[in-house]
Amino acid sequence: MAAITMKNIVKRYGDGFPAVQEVSLDVRDGEFMILVGPSGCGKSTLLRMIVGLEDITSGEMLIGGKVVNKVAPRERNLSMVFQNYALYPHLTVFENIAFPLRLAKTPNEEVNRRVKETAELLELTEHLDRKPSHLSGGQRQRVAMGRAIVREADAFLFDEPLSNLDAKLRGQMRTEISRLQRRLGVTTVYVTHDQTEAMTLGDRVAVLRKGVLQQVGSPRALYEEPVNLFVAGFIGSPSMNFLPASVDGSFLETPLGRFEVQDERKLAAVGDRDVVLVGIRPEHFEDASLVGDEKKSQGSIIRARVDVTEWLGNEQYAYVPYEAPADLAAQLRDLSRELDSDQLRTQAVVSLDAASTITPGREAELWIDTKRLHLFDPATSDNLTRDEEHVAELDRVAEESRAAQREAQREPAEGPGATVAEP
C-alpha cells in the first residue's frame, strides 16, 4: 500500500497536443480516488502515467514516496483493470489470475492457495478451469479484478471497468468494487466518465476538464460547493440550472422572474458585477402550493410557464423554457456541449414533489430555495459564493464516514478474504 503523489504532471503528445496540464494531485494511502470528466479530458492518460504505460512529459510522479517517472510498469508494483479487461484468452481463469504470481516466480503451493482465495472472494471458484471466452461479461470483469488483487500491489488502478457492462450488472459490480476496496484498504485510482459511479464510489473525486484539474474533494463537497460552472454542471443529474441574472440590490432579475436573495454573504460576493449566472439545482425548486409557510419565507416564489412535465412516481420533473441574452445563451450552450449533453434550448429542469398537480402549459408558482443557490461569474465561470467553511466541514464528515465504513467492512472480513492483501 502506498500513497500516490503527482506534482505538476504534464503530458504533451508528439504533435504538441497537451493531454494533461500541470496536474497536482495527492492520493492518500488507502484512499479511493476517482478521476472523472467528459471524454477527452485526459483522465485515462493520467491513469496510464501513474501505471507507467505513458511517458510523463514533465512533472513528478511519486508512489510511496519514491519518484517513479523513469520506472518501468512492471517495477511499480501496481495492478490495473483495463476497460476491455485484457484477459489472456489462451489461459484458463486460474492461470489468468495466477499470471502475476507466476511471473514473480511464486512457489506453486502459494499460487494455488492465493488463487483459490481470490476466486472465493470473487465467487469464481467453479469457473477456474474455463477459458475467458466462455464467461459472461460480469464474470470476465471479476477475473480481471482477481488478477489485480491476487498480488500484493501497492495500488489498484481501474480504467472505466464498468463501461462494457449493461446497466443492471454495472450497479451490482459498483457495490462489489466499493466493498472490496474498503475491505482490502488498498489505495485505488478509478477512472470513469460516469458521474454516478464517481459519486457513489469515491472517497474523493477529482474533476478534469481538457487536461486541467478543476476540483478535488469529497462527492458532497463537489455537489454542494462546486468551484466553477463546469464542475457544477458536470456533477449531478439532471444537472444544475444556470440562469443569467442582472443584479439589483438584493434582488436578482432572471428570465424566470425576479426574486430576492436574503443571504448577505452571497450578495457581498457579487461585488460590482451587473450580470451573474445563478446556479440552482433542480431539487431546490418546489411547487409553491406544497411548501409550508415557515419554509416558504426562507426562499422566494416565482411565476413561470411550465412546458412539459414528467411524472416518475417518486418524483416529477418539469421543464421551464426561458429566453437568455444571446452571448450568455451561447456560453451555456458551449458548456452543455462540453458536458456531453448538447441541450438544444435554454430551459430550466425542475424537480417537484410527485404529489404536485402543476399542469403543463399553464403558469405555475414555483418556490426556490435561495439559500442553496450559487452565483457564478459569467466571465471567469468561477463560483462566487463557494463557502470554504462548509467545504471543510463536508470533507471532515466524509473522512469520518470513510473511516467508520472501513472499520465495519474489515471486521467481518477476518475470513479467507482479508488475507489476500495481508497474508
Partner 1 sequence: MESTRSRALWIVVSLLILVWTAFPILWIVMLSFKTPSEIGNVQGFFPQDWTWENYETVFKTDLFTSALINSIGISLIATFVGVTFATLVAYAIARLDFPGKRLILSFALAIAMFPVVSLVGPLFDLWRDIGLYDTWPGLIIPYISFALPLAIWTLSAFFREIPWEMEQAAQVDGATSWQAFRKVIVPLAAPGVFTAAILTFFFCWNDFVFGISLTSTDNARPVPAALAFFTGESYFEQPTTAICAAAVVVTIPVVIVVLLFQRRIVAGLTSGAVKG
Q: Is 190 in the site for partner 1 (CB under 8 A)?
A: no
159 or 203: whose CB is closer to partner 1?
159
In the complex, the smallest distance separating the C-beta of residue 117 from partner 1, rounded to whole angstroms, is 18
Does 127 bind partner 1 (CB under 8 A)? Our answer is no
Q: Which is nearer to partner 1, 48 or 284 (CB)?
A: 48
Least CB distance from residue 156 to partner 1, whole Å? 11
82 is a site residue for partner 1 (CB under 8 A): yes
One of 2, 111, 124, 135 touching partner 1 (CB under 8 A): 135
| Grid cell in block for residue 237 | 443529474
With CB under 8 A, what is the number of residues at the site for partner 1? 33
Grid-cell match 449531478, residue found: 236
Contact between 9 and partner 1 by CB under 8 A: the answer reads no
Q: How far is the CB of 329 from partner 1 (least distance, A)?
A: 41
Q: How far is 83 from 79, CA to CA, in rounded Å?
A: 13
> Angle between the 137-149 and 167-184 helix axes, to the nearest 10 degrees?
20
Measured from the CB atom, is 51 or 304 closer to partner 1? 51
Give me the least distance between CB of 131 and partner 1, in Å please. 6
d(CA 224, CA 83): 30
- Does the footprint of partner 1 cover residue 90 (CB under 8 A)? yes
Is residue 80 within the footprint of partner 1 (CB under 8 A)?
A: yes
Least Å from the CB of residue 45 to partner 1: 14
For partner 1, which residue of 84, 108, 175, 380 counts as binding (CB under 8 A)? 84
Using the minimum distance from each CB to partner 1, give the nearer residue, 79 or 195: 79
Q: Is residue 93 a contact point for partner 1 (CB under 8 A)? A: no
Contact segment (CB under 8 A) with partner 1 among 128-136, 265-273, 382-390, 413-421 equals: 128-136
**Of residues 73, 171, 238, 321, which one binds partner 1 by CB under 8 A?**
73
What is the chain's Cα-based Rg?
24
Q: Which residue among 16, 65, 89, 313 contacts partner 1 (CB under 8 A)?
A: 89
Q: Point out which span in 60-68, 77-85, 110-118, 349-357 binds partner 1 (CB under 8 A).
A: 77-85
Site string for partner 1, 139-178 (x = CB under 8 A): -x------x---x------------x--------------
Q: Which part of the chain contacts partner 1 (CB under 8 A), choosing from 68-76, 229-237, 256-264, 337-345?
A: 68-76
Euclidean distance between CA atoms 343 and 310, whole angstroms:
17
By CB under 8 A, tell whether 99 contacts partner 1: yes
Told to check if 137 binds partner 1 by CB under 8 A, we report yes
Q: Is 23 exposed, middle or buried (0-12, 13-18, 19+ CB in 10 A)?
A: buried
Task: Please name the helix (run of DSSP H) or strand (run of DSSP E) that holds residue 251, with its range, or none.
Answer: strand 251-254
Binding site for partner 1 (CB under 8 A): 51-53, 72-74, 77-80, 82-90, 99-100, 103-104, 131-135, 137, 140, 147, 151, 164
